[in-house]
Amino acid sequence: MRYIMLEYTEPQEDEAQRVYSELDRENRETRRVELYPGGLWFAYGDEHGREEALNPTPFPDDIRELNVPGQVTARTIAPGIFREVWDQAAERPDGFMGMFF
């Protein structure tokens, strides 16, 4: 497994500011957590389900290819960082609907 984070410099109101992804050996997403500027989050894969929302296209071997100066920064992160974000996401209300229940 490999873990990456994409950070968007100026996301639109309805776009994630940070996206944490777990990739398998073929560089396909197996789990993802999206954090939005307003504090909302959405998690996909594993116990959260919604695998259809995961990116079906393999990520490049060199994650830096996803960098767009002034717009998005992509980097590899430690497995522990991803696990911490994933675990925190599990403790919060689930995305938009979680604000009401």
Give the C-alpha separation, 12 to 90, whole Å.
25
Cβ-Cβ contacts under 8 Å for 73 (sequence gap 6 or more): 6, 7, 9, 67
Q: Whole-prediction pTM value?
A: 0.85
| Residue 37 pLDDT greater than 70, yes or no | yes
Q: CA triplet 27, 17, 42: central angle to 5 degrees?
A: 70
pLDDT at residue number 38? 78
| Residue 13 pLDDT greater than 80, yes or no | no
In the chain, % of residues over pLDDT 70: 88
Would you place residue 91 in the very low, low, confident or very high pLDDT band (cuts 50, 70, 90)? low
Contact 86, 33 (CB under 8 A): yes
Mean pLDDT of 43-69: 89
Return the amino acid letter for 24. D
